[in-house]
Structure 1
Amino acid sequence: MTTARLVRAGSLPVAIHPTTAEMAEAAAQHTAEVLRQAVDQRGSARVIMATGNSQLAFVAALPGQDIPWSKITVFHMDEYIGVGDGHSASFRKWIRERVAEPFGPAAVEYIDGTAEDIEAECARYEALLRAAPIDLTCMGIGENGHLAFNEPGEADFADPRWVRVIRLTQRSIDQQVGEGHFPDRASVPVTAISLTIPALLAAGSVQVVTPEARKAQAVRSTLTLEPTTDWPSTILRRTPHARLFLDAESAAESAEVIRELAAAGDGA
């Protein structure tokens, strides 16, 4: 494997890999290390996992890792309101098919976007998350800088709640259509249940896997803007227990920024 270029943006370690496959392999190795350590220390582990196209290569690299899945509980981080778990865009379906069925974790806790009482469902899931330490969050960055579905201008870095209802921005709706999850804008649900930023960052380790050219502008903004809820992913620069994994395409618009960080001695 080619050695990644390592820099630090604020408190955030950043690893830039030449290819998506190498980025995915490095992230899978990191996931395995964190989860094995948690199991060694406590006998079990708890992980929050993102869904979506940006996580496909990473999840595909997991079978080659030594991960004690039978001692791991998996959570996911969002679900559309009104979408059943058989819908092709359902995040429950994504987790079931790409994590639960192939790996057989000890348990998978699903968000029910079709629950009769959505606020009660938010409270139920929050209680599950808070019941014990979260060892690892595996997530990405949205094209508009969202983390989970914490949208620009609506995200709250100090939200007292860990799970809440959010309303998707038009750019997030467009991203879902562009990724092929829905045929058109009108088909995308406008609301979802999402873990909040404090919930995502409460994990002992936070892994942010962000490949692809379509995320290049989001990556540049994350690395250069001062932390602001107008671009939620900027909070990562104040998160030393996070690690950002990039490939050449997602880092393409940040080449100058990365050179400046390296020259300043901000090695990760």
Structure 2
Amino acid sequence: MTVHVVVLPDPAACGAAVADAVADAVTGAAGGPVNLGLATGSSPLPAYAELIRRHRRDGLSFRGARAFLLDEYLGLPRDHPQSYRQVIRRELTDHLDIDPAAVHAPDGTADDPAAAAARYERLLLDAGPIDVQILGIGRNGHVGFNEPGSPPGSTTRVVTLTGRTRADNARFFDRPQDVPHRVLTQGIGTIGRAAHLVLVATGPEKAPAVAAAVHGPVGSAVPASLLRDHPRCTVVLDPAAAAGLGPGRSGRMCGTGTPVRGYR
């Protein structure tokens, strides 16, 4: 088991820890662009707010960075406010000095989704490994949109969402029936090529999935548990999300994972 678990007082502190990992990658890049993996959802938002603050206050620059989104809904127009291309622009990249042409996402409008998935997988391979991949976790243990049953070596592909995931995401749409049924997502194998995985989860509704991912059996039933095979994975939690991990959980090392800077 190679996960470093960090429990911090609140979502803002979790966001600062995730921002530390991203800032370290951006400022420590030695030649060539840094590749950032970005997730949408609620849990990463404090990290994105903190990165925007550091850019504006401290001059943290993303001029040489490239960003790659984890996933995208199929069938939403590119300008739909809940397309992940638009969400990440609104919540992060439009507020930084990153080149908009360097922000990449799967093509959820493609006539041939399987071909679009293959193109995105090739783009990721050609770009080289992601330096820091930000991840969230679904209440059923999914990462990206790798639903339960996803193979460990899976690559970017079309996935049909479970009813649970669609219900969880309905809060972002006007009507539950507006949530798309299918998505393009990086696979578990694709995600695993990143140099550093940083999974952030906050709130009590994530506690059962976090406990299953960190302490339960490693397997496709809880896709996030497969991250425990990664050589450098950090899980950043607030106390509510960590509630199922038991006493002595804060800062506990499980295996040989590398901690986020400044939190041990």
Task: After TM superposition, list the pairs within 5 Å mapping 1:86-101 onto structure 2.
Answer: 86-101=79-94
Q: Does 1:63 align with 2:52?
A: yes
Amino acid at match of 2:244: E
1:48/1:76 contact within 8 Å kept: yes
Provide closer, same or farther for how the CA distance between residues 36 and 225 of structure 1 changes in structure 2, counting only shifts above 3 A. Answer: same
Task: Report the Cα offset of residue 257 of structure 1.
Answer: 7.3
Amino acid at match of 1:191: R
Q: Does 1:167 align with 2:156?
A: no
Q: Which of residues 122, 125, 144 in structure 2 aligns to 1:127?
A: 122
Task: Report the Cα offset of residue 131 of structure 1.
Answer: 0.5
Q: Which of residues 19, 25, 40 in structure 2 aligns to 1:28?
A: 19
Q: Which of residues 104, 107, 113 in structure 1 aligns to 2:108?
A: 113
Consecutive unaligned residues of structure 2, counting only runs of 5 or more, are none
Q: Which of residues 6, 27, 35 in structure 2 aligns to 1:46?
A: 35
Q: Which of residues 95, 120, 135 in structure 2 aligns to 1:139?
A: 135
Task: Report the Cα offset of residue 263 of structure 1.
Answer: 11
Alignment RMSD, CA only?
2.4
Amino acid at match of 1:144: N
1:156/1:197 contact within 8 Å kept: yes
1:204/1:241 contact within 8 Å kept: yes
In structure 1, distance between residues paired with 2:167 and 2:174: 10
2:117/2:157 contact within 8 Å kept: yes
Percent identical residues = 30
Task: After TM superposition, list the pairs within 5 Å mapping 1:190-201 onto structure 2.
Answer: 190-201=181-192
2:21/2:132 contact within 8 Å kept: no
In structure 2, distance between residues paired with 1:30 and 1:263: 19
Q: Does 1:148 align with 2:144?
A: yes
Equivalent position of 2:73 in the other structure? 80
Relative to the length of structure 1, the TM-score reads 0.87
Cα deviation 1:227-252 (Å, max 9, x = unaligned)? 11000011122223111100111112
Task: Report the Cα offset of residue 170 of structure 1.
Answer: 1.0
1:12/1:243 contact within 8 Å kept: yes
Q: The residue matched to 1:54 in structure 2 has which SS?
A: coil
1:146/1:233 contact within 8 Å kept: yes
Task: Report the Cα offset of residue 85 of structure 1.
Answer: 2.3
Consecutive unaligned residues of structure 1, counting only runs of 5 or more, are 1-9
Relative to the length of structure 2, the TM-score reads 0.88
1:34/1:205 contact within 8 Å kept: no
Task: Report the Cα offset of residue 195 of structure 1.
Answer: 0.4
Q: The residue matched to 1:258 in structure 2 has which SS?
A: coil
Provide closer, same or farther for how the CA distance between residues 64 and 119 of structure 1 changes in structure 2, counting only shifts above 3 A. Answer: same
2:141/2:213 contact within 8 Å kept: yes
Q: Does 1:203 align with 2:199?
A: no
Amino acid at match of 2:110: A
Cα deviation 1:97-131 (Å, max 9, x = unaligned)? 12221013131112221112212211221111001
